[in-house]
Amino acid sequence: MTGYPSLCMMIDGERVAAEARRTHQVVNPATEETLGELPLADAADLDRALDAARRGFRLWRDAPAQQRAAVLSGAASLLRQRADHLACAATLEEGKTLAEARMEVMMAAALFDFYAGEAHRIYGRTLVRPAGQRSTVTKEPVGPVAAFAPWNFPIGNPGRKLGAPIAAGCSVILKAAEEAPASALGVLQALYDAGLPKEVAQAVFGVPDEVSRHLLGSPVIRKLSFTGSTAVGKHLVRLASEDMKRTTMELGGHGPVLVFKDTDVEAVLDTMVPHKFRNAGQVCVASTRFLVEEEIYERFVDGFAARARTLRVANGLLPEAQMGPMANARRPAAMEKLIGDAARRGAQIRAGGTPMGNQGFFFAPTVLSNVPTDADVMNEEPFGPVALCRPFRNEEEAIAEANRLPYGLAAYAWTADAKRQRRLGREIEAGMIGINSVAIGGADAPFGGVKWSGHGHEDGPEGVEACLVTKALHEGAVP
């Protein structure tokens, strides 16, 4: 495939090729063609990475803030310069449209710029003590980080996993998704080219369970950072707890969207339909359960279905594509199962509902109405292009449904009533809430969930704070 790089791991400054190692075939989800063969780490590779991460930490924790900042802002500039090339790799590997992939590069660059600033703002404090005594509170980097990034944001997720530890003075071993390695390697290369010492950040790939057990079983690693499903997250937290490692867990969501009758239905649809189908719905903060006040419910569902039917679904490289394929063969299979279950339980399929074409992992933008709350799709994260609609009678009922699930990542609400806006902001159990807006992110904004959606944050000052430990030093008078 032209333009797709040869794949490797980056361990202790060396490009590690397949040689006799096991490999993983990276597949273009739009065409099912093989893009490349990715080497998978064996135990010796992981031990080498751990040894380098130990050395990298000693080096980087002592690096001045200016140096850390220069690396991050230099990498941000390089990402912008290389945006077209990186976006193309992301689309080839993951399927999203080029426009979305390009936006992702820009977001990663903005995050690196923000973290470059944060590297200068790691402050401590001095306590008030009698003369001759001195007590200081300092923030220190937590140590080498094992970071696991999923495939749905192949540039943005590695950017988050690398940026915060580097700003804080940690070293990091990144295991990005085996499905989308070239994008992650492109982000890492920008950091190297901006001057990052190669022991400070490394990239390994492998059999996920083998890699996570090996890295989390090592005392070298002091922090786990994971983005992915709640089921895998719980398993990794258990492994990390054996050695009391710090954890930042960005897990699943099941985003409720509360739509009240005092809003402009057409304007809400114009925002929410593209939001729903962004990245074919494979977004942890996706809008999923559309809870609509009964007076406007039918109009809302009709409008949603009509818009879904006109979306142009195509290979993300094509300029006309508004939605690409799903990222891998597991996703359309999961969609069919969830939609079949919902239909059997009485949900109506108002648009889509089936795979598309005979090549690639395409799935039609789908709208289901009157989905019963005991349908699997109303309880498991669907992670796909399906909107689930249900009517509600009043605010209490809508809030109760929003909070019914153990997930609490993102939630959205549309209402013109200022008092209600405040009530919803207080009552909805979610880490991020958008009221009359879907713009819930930004380099300066903490990104993270509550309940089964995880704990800790990425982005914002909180992202760097999560890579720091606090030390209190109390010094008496010299005897």
Whole-number minimum distance, CB 179 to ligand NAD, in Å? 7
Whole-number minimum distance, CB 96 to ligand NAD, in Å? 13
> DSSP letter at 406?
S
Distances (CA, A) of 397 to 62, 133, 177, 258, 391: 54, 58, 39, 11, 10
Q: Which is nearer to ligand NAD, 312 or 337 (CB)?
A: 337
Whole-number minimum distance, CB 283 to ligand NAD, in Å? 7
Q: Which of 73, 152, 225, 288 binds ligand NAD (CB under 6 A)?
A: 152
For residues 221 and 172, is the Cβ–Cβ distance under 8 A? no
Site string for ligand NAD, 36-75 (x = CB under 6 A): ----------------------------------------
Size of the site for ligand NAD (CB under 6 A): 21
The C-alpha atoms of residue 144 and residue 162 are separated, in whole angstroms, by 11
To the query of whether residue 250 is one of the catalytic residues in this protein, the response is yes
Site string for ligand NAD, 376-395 (x = CB under 6 A): -----x-x------------
Marked catalytic residue, from 8, 88, 170, 284:
284
Q: Which of 408, 332, 346 is nearest to 374 (CA)?
A: 346
Marked catalytic residue, from 93, 118, 250, 380:
250
Sole window of 248-256, 343-351, 391-399, 468-476 interacting with ligand NAD (rule: CB under 6 A): 248-256
The C-alpha atoms of residue 321 and residue 73 are separated, in whole angstroms, by 32
How far is residue 8 CA from its own chain's centroid? 23
Contacts of 331 (CB under 8 A, 6+ apart): 280, 282, 361, 363, 383, 384
The length of the chain is 479
Q: Which is nearer to ligand NAD, 231 or 400 (CB)?
A: 231
Site string for ligand NAD, 208-247 (x = CB under 6 A): xx--x--------------xxx--x--xx-----------
For residues 402 and 297, is the Cβ–Cβ distance under 8 A? no
150 binds ligand NAD (CB under 6 A): yes
Q: Which is nearer to ligand NAD, 115 or 151 (CB)?
A: 151
Tokens 């040689």 label which residue? 19
154 binds ligand NAD (CB under 6 A): no
To the query of whether residue 462 is one of the catalytic residues in this protein, the response is no
Residue-wise DSSP of 134-182: EEEEEEEE---EEEE--SSSTTHHHHHHHHHHHHHT--EEEE--TTSHH
5 binds ligand NAD (CB under 6 A): no
- Strand 9-11 and strand 34-39: the pairing is unpaired
- Strand 468-475 and strand 134-141: the pairing is antiparallel
Segment 171 to 190, residues that bind ligand NAD, using CB under 6 A: 177
248 binds ligand NAD (CB under 6 A): no
429 binds ligand NAD (CB under 6 A): no
Q: Which of 108, 268, 284, 405 binds ligand NAD (CB under 6 A)?
A: 284
Whole-number minimum distance, CB 220 to ligand NAD, in Å? 17
Contacts of 218 (CB under 8 A, 6+ apart): 50
* Catalytic annotation, residues: 250, 284
- Residue ranges that bind ligand NAD, judged by CB under 6 A: 148, 150-152, 177, 208-209, 212, 227-229, 232, 235-236, 250-252, 284, 330, 381, 383
